[in-house]
């Protein structure tokens, strides 16, 4: 009985830690973004772009923003690595999908990878933030132009937004984090994940 109360107490009062998955095809700028997030929001100085290599495993970054703890999971986007993404879906509160907005030749690949992510049932209700990255390059499409190109269907049931960013100079990163925190706090999926964690705690203690 005590453990049930303990589980409930923890559910009510523990500060939520949000898990945010950073997805996108290879070279879209996910790891560069993660390092920029660390530089802007934590005491850890993120790696400079010239020290970042293509991701094969998992990079993790922890930050605090708006009095909330965020844990970012950055995975590799090369075609052979994308099958790993779904192993993280169940535990994710939200998804960031990064697109190189300066490279139209890879938009089709991004669109189909994103559509596959959205179809997966383990991600139902997860807020989605689509980033039009590399805005520091003159040829980059704006967030609105990218949205028009992607023309995603079946987004209505989930909270989503587009943001123009540059992982190099930090443009749009604060707006992105603010949107994510608010969307996750309001999300039914967060309630579901919290309840599940509370239940797991009460069973294990
Ligand atoms: N100009 C510009 N280049 C960027 C930006 N973000 C990333 N890049 C460059 O894009 C390339 C790929 O960046 P990564 O961060 O390694 O890309 P990734 O999405 O993590 O790639 P994978 O780990 O292979 O999936 C690198 O040469 C980066 O320096 C940006 O905002 N502007
Ligand atoms: Mg990477």
Residue 81, ligand 1, Cβ within 6 A: no
Q: Model pTM?
A: 0.93
What pLDDT, on the 0 to 100 scale, is given for residue 43? 87
- Percent helix / strand / coil, the chain, rounded to 5: 45, 20, 35
- If you search the block for the tokens 């030749």, which residue do you land on? 105
State whether the beta carbon of 55 lies less than 6 angstroms from ligand 1: yes
Which ligand is nearest to the Cα of residue 99, counting in written order?
Answer: 1
Name the closest-CA residue to atom 11, ligand 1.
27
Does the ipTM surpass 0.90?
yes
110 C-beta closer than 6 A to ligand 1: no
pLDDT along the chain (205 residues), means of 10: 66 77 98 98 93 97 93 98 98 98 98 96 97 97 96 84 97 98 96 85 65
Query: Which domains does the chain carry?
Result: 14-195 (3.40.50.300)
The strand order across the sheet containing 160-164 reads 58-65, 68-75, 17-23, 94-100, 128-133, 160-164
Of the residues 78, 112, 142, 205, which is catalytic?
78
Q: At what angle do helices 2-13 and 188-204 cross, to 10 degrees?
A: 150
Integer angstrom CA distances of residue 201 from 10, 71, 83, 198: 8, 20, 30, 5
């Amino acid at each position: 009985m005590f453990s049930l109360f303990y589980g409930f107490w923890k559910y009510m009062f523990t500060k939520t830690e949000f898990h945010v998955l950073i997805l996108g095809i290879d070279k879209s700028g996910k790891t560069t973004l993660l390092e920029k997030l660390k530089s802007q929001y934590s005491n850890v100085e993120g790696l400079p772009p010239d020290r970042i290599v293509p991701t094969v495993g998992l990079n993790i970054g922890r930050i605090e923003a708006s009095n909330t703890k965020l844990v970012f999971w950055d995975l590799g986007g090369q075609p052979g690595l994308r099958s790993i993404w779904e192993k993280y879906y169940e535990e994710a509160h939200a998804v960031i999908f990064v697109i190189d907005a300066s490279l139209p030749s890879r938009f089709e690949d991004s669109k189909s990878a994103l559509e596959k992510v959205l179809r997966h049932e383990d991600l139902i209700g997860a807020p989605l933030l689509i980033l039009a990255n590399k805005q520091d390059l003159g040829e980059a499409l704006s967030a609105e132009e990218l949205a028009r190109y992607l023309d995603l269907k079946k987004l209505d049931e989930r909270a989503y937004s587009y943001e123009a960013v540059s992982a190099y100079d930090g443009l749009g990163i604060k707006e992105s984090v603010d949107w994510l925190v608010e969307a996750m706090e309001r999300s039914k999926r967060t309630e579901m994940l919290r309840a599940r964690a509370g239940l797991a705690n009460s069973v294990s203690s």
